[in-house]
Structure 1
Amino acid sequence: MEIHQEVLRTFFGNFNNLNAIQKESIPVILDGNNIIISSSTGTGKTEAVLAPLISKYLDESLLNDRMTWLYITPTKALANDIYRRIHPLLSKLHLNVGIRHGDRDETRLVKKIHILITTPESLDVIMKRNDNSLNDIRALILDEVHILFNTQRGLQMSLIISRLKRHILDHDIQIACLSATIASCKDISSFLFGNSENFYEIVKHSHKMIDAFITIITSKEALLKLIEKIFTGPTKLLIFANSRIECDRLGSILWNSEKLRPHLFTHYSSLSTQMREKTEKDFNHAETAICIATSTLELGIDIGDIDAVILWGPPWTVNSFLQRIGRGNRRTKKTNAICLVSYESKNKYLDLLYFYAILDLAKEGIIEKIKPMKLFGALIQQILMIIATNQGAFTKTQEIINIANIHDHLSRENVEEILKSMSEANYIKPHGFKNRYGANDGLYRLLDLRLIYSNITISSRDVKIFEGKKEIGHISTKNLLNMHPGAIIRFAGRCWKVVKIENTKIQVKSNDFIKDPIEIQYSSKGKYISDTLILNRIYDYLSKMKINFDIIDKKVRTPFSNYINNLISIFSPSHIPLIRLDDNFCYLTFGGKLCNLVFCQVLGINELKIDQIGIVSKFPIDFSKLP
């Protein structure tokens, strides 16, 4: 089977314009195979799978005038971006593109949708409706699947697809997965599909040279001076911070510069959809701009060509580092990465060493290899959805088992144990004599409160922030305890004066910067845990590997070298190094934060501080007591 010539012209112009990934993937997909492609951002993965899938089922879709393709993204922002990118192309082929997520629903507006772009949660809602529009789905595209790997959302997506496949009984669904550079495609396909699917794998690692520079920023003034120095002429900079509060702090520092202020953007999850979309659009089209973002812009949202990526503090994984720097310099053979250790860091030279280790591993093409986790939590939510889809009626236990057992660990025994626990918690109830379960009061209450559609733990209720009629964003209601009319808050990298506070919203107006505004307290999504890959590399530097100081700022080379030599002098592979800090004991375990927490719990230690590298204690620790 050959690709439809009209599709080829629409996506690529002609065959000579195909890159290596596209040339390999197109015949594989046209032959009907499932595929997973792992490569860096901007390598044409979307076109590599979408063009042949459109070609394969185009005639059938136009003839039946039914929904034929599902395109699933992990975020609403990426769904919107994919819609903007493919809608003009597919309209040339007389195909209607629809979008469905928490902020947009075109499934009820567009009469005939041929390809639907959605998120896992929205697909779950459509499935609950028993929507017949899904009956003719032929192909499923899952974008940025590495985001879902080893998460409850990923298991949720896996079980939704299992339900979808059982909903469509008369034909198979062809599946294409797109991912950033990962260590193992097989691990991702195993996590999402268990033993139910086979995949052809295409892996293309980036061979772009990384031109990196690492330094320590000593003050706010030094940061401002450096950014102003870099920001000359038509320049686009993307600055990644590790948290929303750091985005706000960085924004407030750069806002003090008259040179930078007109070109400054922020982007993170607490901003309103309207604000985020405006930032993405304006930053994309700007020739001169700076955007400060969290991991929200690690995904493949189109933001144009970036001249340099600046990292404010080291990310926690090599994979995240590659995702971030991969957003820059797409049109050149070199990626510019500026790695900055914050003046607020409690151990600046350790953070600098952490940066160096990540960069060293990235240049060697070594990334984290994490085996699929055996998760259970999302199965509870999916059991509730299965029964709710059946209008609460008694549902065969075997029906639930058949959906779950694509994963070996979701065995009959485990599923039945979960069903029993859910029954004891009053969410569902067993049939008197048949092996079935139906809805109980707990499930009906979840439906009434619309809390059934997500497996994510519900955090405290949010309150929206408005400037006039324009929604700026949303924050946790716990922030209201620190606010009053007239208070100055920092949000979206700017200062705002609180005008009025109500139960569901806060009215603000723009305000000049002040020295100590009220900082927003964001709901934590969990502490990042470093992979042992990076910690092991740091361990190697202290035992045998040499450090190349050329990429480190000349101003900090000497003190950094002294720091490393001091660590080496106390280092021995046969025991845990100990440093005395004032009257405290600092043990360098290189175990990672989670492992160090376990050490302290098992040994009954009241630690002063725990981080990725070690433990600080008031008293000596006897590690020989570990079991």
Structure 2
Amino acid sequence: MVEQRFTLETVRRKLPNSAFAFLGRFSRLTEIQARAIPVIHEGKDALVVAQAASGKTEAVMVPLTEKLLKEHTGDGLGLLYVVPTRALANDIERRVAGPLRYLSIKLVVRTGDKRTNVKKSGAKVVVTTPESLDSLLARQPDVFKTLKAIVIDEAHLLEDSVRGDQVSCLVRRLLKWHCENKPQLCAMSATVSKPHLLALKLFGAQAEVITVETRRPITVARADNVAQALAIVRSKGIKKTICFCNSRQACEDMSQVAIRLGFLPKARLFVHHASLSRRDREEVEEAMRVLFQAILFCTSTMEMGVDIGDVDCVILYGAPPSVSSFLQRIGRGCRRKQGLFCVLVPEYPSDEQDFEEIRKALEEGDLGEVRRSDPSCIVQQAFSLLFARPQGATREELFEVMGHLWAREVFDRVIDYLILSGYLVMGRRGLILASSKVMDMGEKGVVHSHIKDAVGTKVIDAATGRVLGEVANVCSKGELVVFSGRLWRVRKKTSNAVYIEAFHASFGEAPKFVPHLEESRFAEYLPADLFETTA
């Protein structure tokens, strides 16, 4: 069968409204757009795989938006757009809200930061995270009745964790219980080792995979430390740099290295990580988009597909955890150019070997093994689903939602263990119900997220009262701390807050941050031998 390709002229003729809104300023389609738009326009489920900044968003949104205009003329939600992070949700809103507004299509964001009432908003497009979608299925289940399409963005990043298992189950829950008619299913991903397996996991056998594997050439420089890396950046006249670190403390510490070297004025030096407040993170993202010259020190919070403008160089301080993470991080740079320039800096001696292994894997085309599904998700989905359906569900109905991830033996063992432990209850006619304990967990919202709560202490600017973020409760009065790339002195400390004030001195130390807990909060509910496999 000959593959169908569209030119820009074809798109303008077949999809006139969305073509003008999304592609009006372009003179031609990218390769992935030329190949993906006709597939999605035909109504097929699809996984679109291509490198960063290749136009995947437009490749999916152009045909789906035209579909909304033609088939979704009434009220109600028409398109569900799922992203891995709140930062990416905000970025997608910024990028597509304008074209949608031109077409009189309302978009809203629903995340932990923006608790929009989707039902009352009148929106036809909602952008959300897996956890917020999980919550919506329980709290506003009827809003998905009219869905025409579901989009999953940065699917490869979700696949790296148990949250990918969660999303694949949520899609099946939507199809089984919430959508009146089957919506079209589309996902976008950077290059992955086995895209067909990812498509099968997300959507089932019917999904078509469209892949463009061309990669931009990578120029790599080496440095012994961040000071050397910054010297390389300066010698090349580079204006905009992003430095990825593997911890929040490293972000703060390396920002101070740049300040002490006088690399850039402080007003052009930024830090971005999960312990900063939402307002601070969003201000940093906007600053990086609009400033011509700047440097950003960040953790994996900026590893996702957030567009922060023309970054000319990426510094990696410490080896990333995987080949895909390496590609994702360096892909943040030179998004509008043909090549990538990065500087590798070891944080620990072992990083040199890790960098070398990543290099060899890239040469051999090895993008890593497919991650095994985490049985913790059986617990999480059983709790979430049965909280959303207090009338209960049969064992077969539960397996229909989760059976694509685990063997029947594993599924049955976990469900039986939850029943014996009193978290699930057998009801009449073979129905399984949530216990009162699980219902209480659902009311508190904890059944929707695998991420463990890590309670920290608020950090407050003593001069303005503004909440800057969160740290572990270890700061003492008078201590000098580095936070958000700036030096502060602890003015006072209470049981639940640390008040800090700007301080002018040559050095300080980053505070201890609230730890990021990788293990699913539901692992502890598994049988002992299965719990050990998740540790």
TM-score range, shorter chain: 0.7 to 0.9
TM-score (norm 2): 0.88
TM-score (norm 1): 0.76
Secondary structure of 1:82's partner? helix
Do residues 449 (structure 1) and 459 (structure 2) align?
no
Counterpart selection for 1:284 from 261, 283, 289 = 289
Secondary structure of 2:200's partner? helix
The separation in 1 between residues aligned to 2:422 and 2:506, in whole angstroms, is: 52
Over residues 278-323 of structure 1, what are the superposed CA-to-partner deviations in whole Å (9 max), with x where a residue is unaligned?
0000011000100111122121111001111111122232222221
The separation in 2 between residues aligned to 1:299 and 1:505, in whole angstroms, is: 30
Give the deviation of 1:509 after TM superposition.
1.3
Counterpart selection for 1:141 from 125, 130, 151 = 151
Structure 1 residues 332 and 70: alpha-carbon distance in aligned structure 2, compared to 1, 3 A threshold: same
The separation in 1 between residues aligned to 2:430 and 2:307, in whole angstroms, is: 51
Secondary structure of 1:126's partner? helix
Amino acid corresponding to residue 295 of structure 2 in structure 1:
I
The separation in 1 between residues aligned to 2:387 and 2:511, in whole angstroms, is: 42
Give the deviation of 1:85 after TM superposition.
0.7
Q: Is the 8 A contact 1:430 1:437 kept in 2?
A: yes
Structure 1 residues 105 and 448: alpha-carbon distance in aligned structure 2, compared to 1, 3 A threshold: closer
- Residue segments in structure 2 that go unaligned for 5+ positions in a row: 1-10, 520-535
Aligned residue runs from structure 1 range 408-557, under 5 A: 409-411=406-408, 413-431=409-427, 434-456=429-451, 458-467=452-461, 468-475=464-471, 479-480=472-473, 482-513=474-505, 515=507, 517=509, 519-526=511-518
Structure 1 residues 526 and 414: alpha-carbon distance in aligned structure 2, compared to 1, 3 A threshold: closer
Q: Is the 8 A contact 1:159 1:379 kept in 2?
A: no
Structure 1 residues 289 and 516: alpha-carbon distance in aligned structure 2, compared to 1, 3 A threshold: closer
CA RMSD of aligned residues (A): 2.4
Counterpart selection for 2:85 from 68, 75, 98 = 75
**2:523 maps to which residue?**
none
Structure 1 residues 223 and 414: alpha-carbon distance in aligned structure 2, compared to 1, 3 A threshold: closer
- Residue segments in structure 1 that go unaligned for 5+ positions in a row: 528-627
The separation in 2 between residues aligned to 1:46 and 1:221, in whole angstroms, is: 37
**1:41 maps to which residue?**
52
Counterpart selection for 1:396 from 381, 394, 397 = 394
The separation in 2 between residues aligned to 1:371 and 1:223, in whole angstroms, is: 33
Q: Is the 8 A contact 1:190 1:372 kept in 2?
A: no
The separation in 2 between residues aligned to 1:526 and 1:505, in whole angstroms, is: 25
**2:403 maps to which residue?**
405
The separation in 2 between residues aligned to 1:109 and 1:507, in whole angstroms, is: 39
**2:522 maps to which residue?**
none
Structure 1 residues 224 and 149: alpha-carbon distance in aligned structure 2, compared to 1, 3 A threshold: closer
Secondary structure of 2:193's partner? coil
Counterpart selection for 2:245 from 238, 241, 265 = 241
The separation in 1 between residues aligned to 2:181 and 2:119, in whole angstroms, is: 28
Secondary structure of 1:336's partner? strand
Give the deviation of 1:131 after TM superposition.
2.8
Amino acid corresponding to residue 387 of structure 2 in structure 1:
A
Give the deviation of 1:223 after TM superposition.
5.8
Structure 1 residues 221 and 180: alpha-carbon distance in aligned structure 2, compared to 1, 3 A threshold: closer
Secondary structure of 2:447's partner? coil
Do residues 216 (structure 1) and 224 (structure 2) align?
yes
**2:6 maps to which residue?**
none
Aligned residue runs from structure 1 range 13-28, under 5 A: 13=24, 16-28=27-39
Q: Is the 8 A contact 2:93 2:127 kept in 1?
A: yes
Give the deviation of 1:471 after TM superposition.
1.7
Amino acid corresponding to residue 18 of structure 1 in structure 2:
L
Do residues 352 (structure 1) and 359 (structure 2) align?
no
The separation in 2 between residues aligned to 1:318 and 1:223, in whole angstroms, is: 21
Secondary structure of 1:172's partner? coil
* Bigger Cα displacement from structure 2, 270-279 vs 309-318: 309-318
Structure 1 residues 399 and 352: alpha-carbon distance in aligned structure 2, compared to 1, 3 A threshold: closer
Over residues 357-416 of structure 1, what are the superposed CA-to-partner deviations in whole Å (9 max), with x where a residue is unaligned?
433543x362323134132211211111222112x3343333222222234x252x5434
Structure 1 residues 419 and 80: alpha-carbon distance in aligned structure 2, compared to 1, 3 A threshold: same
Give the deviation of 1:514 after TM superposition.
5.0
The separation in 2 between residues aligned to 1:384 and 1:84, in whole angstroms, is: 34
Structure 1 residues 37 and 167: alpha-carbon distance in aligned structure 2, compared to 1, 3 A threshold: same
**1:254 maps to which residue?**
258
The separation in 1 between residues aligned to 2:45 and 2:194, in whole angstroms, is: 16
* Bigger Cα displacement from structure 2, 513-522 vs 169-178: 513-522
Aligned residue runs from structure 1 range 195-214, under 5 A: 196-214=204-222
The separation in 2 between residues aligned to 1:255 and 1:15, in whole angstroms, is: 40
Q: Is the 8 A contact 1:394 1:438 kept in 2?
A: yes
* Bigger Cα displacement from structure 2, 221-230 vs 297-306: 221-230
